[in-house]
Amino acid sequence: MRDSAPLPELAVRSHARLLEASGDDPWVRYAVPHHLSGAAWELEGALLIERRHRWMPRRHAW
């Protein structure tokens, strides 16, 4: 059985790369913190950004 987690080699490690991959999308620019608090992945033009909230440590927004 294959693990359902995104592959590590697809990880995005910087806010600058997210901006580049999104075409300088305003939501990425202003809503995603410059210091990524969660993980992010990129695959074939799609971005997946995990947003962690300090007031809800056990819930995630995708």
The pair phi, psi for residue 8, each rounded to 5°, is -60, -35
The pair phi, psi for residue 55, each rounded to 5°, is -85, -10
Residues 41 and 53: their CA atoms lie apart, in Å, by: 18
Contact 41, 47 (CB under 8 A): yes
Confidence grade of residue 56 (pLDDT, cut at 50, 70, 90): low
Contact 18, 39 (CB under 8 A): no
pLDDT tens-digit profile of 15-53? 999 999 999 999 989 988 888 877 889 988 888 888 776
